[in-house]
Amino acid sequence: MQLVFMNTFEKLEGDHHYTARLTIAEEQGVWHVNWQEMDTAQTMELEVWYESLSWEELLTAFRHGVALKMGAGYVPVIESMLDGDRHAKGSYRSMLQCYGEHYGNEAVFQTLREWRRKKAAADRKSPFLIATNVLLWMISAYLPHNEEELRQIPGWGKARNEAYGGDILELTRPYTRETAFPLDWVAQKLDGELFRNWQLKQQENKYRNALERQEEKKRLLSIVQQGGLLSTLEEELKLPRRELLLRMEQLEQEGYELEPLVEEELRDVPEAEMHSILEVMTEKGDRYLKPVLEHVYGEGNRSKDGRTDELLYEKLRLIRIHFRRKQGKKAV
């Protein structure tokens, strides 16, 4: 086995000093990531974090494991073990987010969540496209009373302000606050240890999500290789069809073979319709589907409730995967 990387970690807990060793090794094309921790009996306990062929998967498992151990108090002898770790002091934006999550007003946050739920239902949008939980926590913590203050909260840009600014201010103005704008005071007031632990938790969540996405990717490809269709993927992965199609498009751009599934899903599309769509994609480009939809289908074949458009967009996304593979290129 060839050792590629090794680092030592240390942790102080009361009067006890703990050490651990993290290694990356390769043997006959198989990658290994191992964590060996010295217990109180001075014996090494082995944890296998990864053992397979993919360097990409190895890196995600490695980073997720490091984030977990650092969150548990282990400190690496070699620094900069995680992305952005060299920026340990953190950005102004991340400080505002951390403070918002820890010192937000729970009652205001719940009020904002209920507003978001109703607005999303009315606008037929995902709630998180209107505002993320992180954004709502910051609003609940800083309680802006006018548009200028609201615009100082990271993530609340011009488009959101025009669409929802009035609604938000109606909900926050009635509350008194102990802090003021601008928010540069947060950097001094925020506890350093709390912020560092928050940063590590963000890293842990980031890499845990990446691990989950990689597992879903492997399952998706396995189902496709076994002849599964979109309905099978939807049932097995518990993902909406639109999300599945977005992931399939990403996999196509990464070079994975999805043509058998695409061809089967498009089997009943009339030849003339397929030709018309491919012709428009060739002439106008395939990056944006709305111009293709409008040019091919116009208004005559589309319902006012949006359901027909949803089905047509699904068809167009599948055809775009076929088109890009045929052209041997990405979006144009």
Q: In order of start, what are the domains of the chain with their CATH numbers? A: 2-64 (3.10.450), 88-186 (1.10.150.80), 227-331 (no CATH)
pLDDT tens-digit profile, the chain (332 residues): 899 999 999 888 877 888 899 999 999 889 999 999 876 566 678 899 999 888 888 988 998 999 889 888 888 887 766 654 444 446 899 999 999 999 999 999 999 999 999 999 998 888 988 999 999 999 999 999 999 999 999 999 999 999 999 999 999 999 999 999 999 999 999 999 999 899 989 989 989 998 998 889 989 999 999 999 999 999 999 988 888 999 999 898 888 889 999 999 999 999 999 999 999 999 989 989 989 999 998 865 555 555 678 889 999 999 999 999 888 754 44
Q: What is the pTM of this model?
A: 0.68
pLDDT of residue 112: 97
What would the DSSP string read from start to end of 189-257? HS-HHHHHHHHHHHHHHHHHHHHHHHHHHHHHHHHHHTT--HHHHHHHH---HHHHHHHHHHHHHTT--
pLDDT of residue 67: 87
Dig out the tokens for 186 from the structure.
């947060």
Q: CB within 8 A of 260, min separation 6: which ones?
A: 224, 227
